[in-house]
Amino acid sequence: MIQENVPLAPMTTFGLGGAARWFVEVRSEVELAEGLAWAAAQGMPVFVLGGGSNLLVPDEGFPGLVLRIDIRGVQQDKPWSPEFFVGAGEAWDSFVDVAVDSNCAGIECLAGIPGRVGGTPVQNVGAYGQDVSQTIRQVRVFDRHRSELRWLTNDECRFRYRQSIFNTDEPGRYVVTAVVFQLRYGPPTLSYADLQKRFSARWKAPGLREVADAVREIRRSKGMLLVDGDPDTHSAGSFFKNPIVNAGLLGTIAATAGVAPEAVPHWPAGDGRIKLAAAWLLEHAGFVKGFTDGVVGISSRHTLALINRGGATFADVERFEQRIRATVEAKFGVTLTREPVVLG
């Protein structure tokens, strides 16, 4: 059923923005095709909404049709198989629990991430030593160019750091309806330093459930786990991507900050480039945890989480974002890129 003038702020973790002129809750692939056909006949723009955890809604809302994907279902290929067919509308964190309870490894370090399954291949969601591209075998999509349902293989998704065909190469062409995950039976991933430290004193290796629970605790301590009534978590997660720059810039950044090059957190990124920690850049530009700017600010627990302190508008967030980006670029010569998507 098509609804009119539906507020979108309650459907996002940031909790701000205007309304959708038209809105449909999509519960099947048939309803998806019908909604897209209706919008095409009206000549109106379409936006596909998942869990709203990586989304900023402008104050004026959206003048077209918003399709909120609520296609559910989790099916294991066979009782003994680590392969899962998951509807795009399933809550991601709930699926992590299903996998862990089935003793299937591969996504236990992605516990506590908000949003829905359909959004994970779009952003190539990752954290604590894992990302979904390592476990996705296929993605079922509606191809808006061909007006048909089809499957994309892992290679066809063109996964990169926080990127895929869905949000870079051909944005807007595909609508994800389901994802097939190829997990594995085996031990959890413990490549992330915080997890290694947490379990270092153990004589017995942790199980999948212990690791998933530990990840949620870490995320909670950093304000990256949604908690009702806690304004410190009213964010879109990490607001800025870790920038990738030429390795030759490292010395200049270190000198500007007054530290040795090895004191600047960085990792090899190939082709003479390095990845920098965006959080470190913000902190050394004066934007520390708990920094406030009117009704917006930075989480007291995570430098990269810009938050809605109550009553914020999209314009407030955009102004604060521009202030941070301009300051970091002026000081270090590094351009930060926003991670959340802006509707429209």
Contact, 306 vs 234, CB < 8 A? Answer: no
Is-catalytic flag, 31? Answer: no
CA 244 vs CA 55, 274, 328: distances in Å = 23, 6, 14
Is-catalytic flag, 219? Answer: no
Number of residues assigned to the chain: 344
DSSP 256: H
H/E segment holding residue 38: helix 29-42
H/E segment holding residue 7: strand 3-7
- Given the residues 90, 238, 299, 321, the one annotated as active site: 238
What is 204-241 written as a DSSP string? Answer: S---HHHHHHHHHHHHHHTT-S--TT-GGG-B-S--BP
- Given the residues 25, 34, 156, 339, the one annotated as active site: 339
**How far apart are alpha carbons 49 and 13 in whole angstroms?**
12
- Phi first, then psi, for residue 60 (nearest 5°) are -80, -5
Nearest to 307 by CA among 341, 299, 315: 299
- Given the residues 68, 116, 140, 162, the one annotated as active site: 162
**How far apart are alpha carbons 110 and 272 in whole angstroms?**
30
- Phi first, then psi, for residue 32 (nearest 5°) are -65, -50
Is-catalytic flag, 94? Answer: no
Give the residue numbers marked as catalytic.
162, 238, 339
